[in-house]
Amino acid sequence: MDSDRHLWRGSIGSALSFFFLGFARAGLIHLSSFFTGAVPPYISCCMSMTSSLRATIPICSGTLFNAYISKYACDILERFDMIDSKPVSTPLAAGDSLVSSGPSYYDPTLYRSIIGALQYLTITRPDLSFAVNLVSQFLQSPTEAHFHAVKRILRYVKGTVHYGLSFDRRPDQSILAYSDADWARCVETRRSTYGYSIFLGGNLVSWSAKKQPSVSRSSCESEYRALTNAASEVIWVVNLLRELQASSDSVPLLLCDNKSVAFLSQNPIAHKRAKHIDIDYHFVRELVSSGRLQTQFVPSHLQLADIFTKSLPRPAFELLRSKLCVCLHPTHRLTGGKSVKQSIK
């Protein structure tokens, strides 16, 4: 398909089927269409279907579509000798800020291996995105402090090994997105961190946590750049849904917690404080003026993208995690759960 070359469309009988093909370390992974529950024969006969991430996609009671990779998470803990570690409630301590200086860690290869494994886990664990992105910024010369931060992430994984994304089937197919930025967060480069979350009918379908590639001269600029990145992803989702024949008539709504940014995106009036923002970022105005996107201010305490820009205290982190539809897998909850060691077997 034009929006994503890994997404294919076919038909089985009279049913329209969509399926995804992607490549990971151990080979080909696949997610067959949950509309038909089958992989078209002209694909399966040509390729060996494996699941290197060991992703489980069960349907519970006909309403819940849950993607989780707890077996893979358990394998990570066992591989890096963290299976008996003490769990923690957040992947990073509140206010954690890592720097490049400090005693070097003796085994950089191990450090990189752990982060590489965690990167795959973030595919269905948006609650890990910010923490993994932060520690991955020190792959070249990790310090002991960086390794301790990575170990804390693994301890968080230990306590949430059976968590994953949940999806509910709802008639509402509107798109709601949140955009946020933490201005000059990096104490060494003063680059900002930005993040966004995009919901389709109340289900999280896209998210990101990244450091901005350049320094922003104001919080307004960093927030506007974040808004632009989120808007680009929203338009991509809209185009993808159109190709999937599942587009909605409603206009996507993009929320940010900076009133100046919301004003700039809706008003073409030039302002001297915004002149230094690259003209490319003003394409958001075109989207708004053409009716393809709505922007709106949201109070900071309702900003769901905050979890992608900074380390948060436990109450705020757990609240936002639940809002992102990351929860304990229902079958594990109903059966009373199993230990991590039992899950490995």
Residue 64 tokens read as 């819940």
Residue 46 included in any domain: yes
**Half-sphere exposure at residue 97, Cβ-oriented, CA atoms within 13 angstroms:** 12
Average pLDDT over residues 40-68: 48
- Give the Å distances, CA to CA, from 110 to 136, 150, 178, 251: 13, 11, 35, 47
119 in the same domain as 84: yes
Could you tell me if 198 and 274 lie in one domain?
yes
Same domain for 155 and 100, yes or no, is yes
The helix or strand, by DSSP H or E, that contains position 234, with its residue range, turns out to be helix 219-243
pLDDT digits (tens, 9 = 90+) for 126-153: 999 999 999 999 999 999 999 999 999 9
Q: What is the pLDDT of residue 28?
A: 34
Angle, alpha carbons 32-204-281 (nearest 5°): 115
Supply angle C-alpha 76, 60, 157, rounded to 5.
Answer: 20
Q: Does 315 map to a domain?
A: no
Residues 47 and 101 placed together within one structural domain of the fold? no
Residues 65, 71, 76, 82, CA torsion sign: positive
Residue 155 lies in a domain: yes
Instruction: Read off the pLDDT band of 97 (50, 70, 90).
Output: confident
pLDDT, one tens digit per residue, over 111-122 is: 999 999 999 999
Position 166 in a domain = no
More confident position, 274 or 296: 296
The range of the structural domain enclosing residue 128 comes to: 70-161+329-344
Does 26 map to a domain?
A: yes
Lowest mean pLDDT among 63-72, 251-260, 261-270, 278-287: 63-72
Instruction: Please tell me the total count of domains within the chain.
Output: 3
Cα angle at 194 between 243 and 281, to 5 degrees? 65
Do 138 and 183 belong together in one domain? no
CA atoms within 13 A on the CB side of 284: 32
Task: Give the SS3 label for residue 256.
Answer: strand
Q: What is the rounded distance in angstroms from the CA atom of residue 340 to the CA atom of residue 345?
A: 9
pLDDT of residue 246: 80
User: Does 232 fall in a domain?
Assistant: yes
Identify whether residues 147 and 187 lie together within a single domain. no
Same domain, 82 and 41: no
2 assigned to some structural domain: no
Domain assignment of residue 61, yes or no: no
* Positions of E strands within 257-343: 294-297, 326-328
Same domain for 231 and 212, yes or no, is yes
The 3-state secondary structure of 107-128, one letter per residue: CHHHHHHHHHHHHHHCCCCHHH
- What is the value of pTM for the model shown? 0.84
Tens of pLDDT, residue by residue over 180-196, are 999 988 888 999 999 99
